Structure 1
Amino acid sequence: MQVSAKQFFTALITMICTLGVLFGAQRLYQKTIVQSPLVATLGSIGGVRSAQMKNGTVTVKVKPGADLMSVYRAVYEAADARLGHPPTAIVFASHANSRLNAVSESASFMVAQGEATGQYIAMESNIQKLAASHGATARVELGTHHLYLTFRQGSSVLYQVVPVTIGGTSHAS
């Protein structure tokens, strides 16, 4: 059986329209059934000012004085429960100035050293001294898989969540 050019183009246009409708329906489903309720749930978490989700990444604005570790865990658990899998990433919106960025860059070396040696108490003390030397404050919290850093200076704030391996074991393998 031979297919005419008219039949081929009709089938092609029908296939493209069908894929467009299916893709649009999937996007609508994601927006109304998954993302909107998730964003509402995240917004009701204590310490969260607002939240957004785009392409699997959750962006959170934190209320002043909120406990970063508690907020991170609550956001992670809520997103995991609603999506059926962990979010691709959780990003905390910061309002940092150049001084806090410099403190953060210097602290990254202390974090790497603390992780490599397992001396987290010394690392915390060193990070707080570093922040104080730049006229800022630092809050360091250690969870089972992450290190939570909050640097503050006046109205500026910088949040960091750093994955760590507790005990100074190698990242190799």
Structure 2
Amino acid sequence: MSFLINGNSGKGPSSPADQGGFTGWTMVGVDPVTPQEAERARRDALVEGPRWVAAEFRAHVDRLTLAAPDTVAVGTPATVTATITQPGGRTVPVAAPASADWSASPSVHVGPADGVKPWQVARFDPATGTLTALRPADSVVLAVTVNGVRAEATLRLTATSGAVASAA
């Protein structure tokens, strides 16, 4: 039997922010499956079937902050973090189970290392918060959106190290 344990909406969360506690709501989507997909799933419940149910855990956002270095040296991984400020001043790291959409300039690959295109100058892995410059570039933009609120940072990719700053 499938079930969903939903987060808190009208009261404070029962767990700390670093353990996934935040206030918000959940959007659930259900897509139809073909009769063949349904029959295959009935015959063998252990085989991964079609992705027909999706849930987005939408955190309440009073403020969203994206912290990234101004400059990233080629080949030196840099840490990027995002933080949600919720009602009452509670701060929550942007990480699972909260849903977040990461995006970037077209010259930046967002996702794991496999999939970087030849023209891309950097890659960002949202799962680890690591941005790696592959080639120098005057500027690239990295952005995160949580529940309709967006924060972005502009970074320069160089052959030498730079200072750290925050963008909101």
TM (normalized to structure 2)?
0.27
Question: Which structure has the bigger radius of gyration?
Answer: 1
Q: Give 1 or 2: higher strand fraction.
A: 2
Higher RCO (C-alpha 8 Å, min separation 6) = 2
Q: Give 1 or 2: higher helix fraction.
A: 1
TM (normalized to structure 1)?
0.26
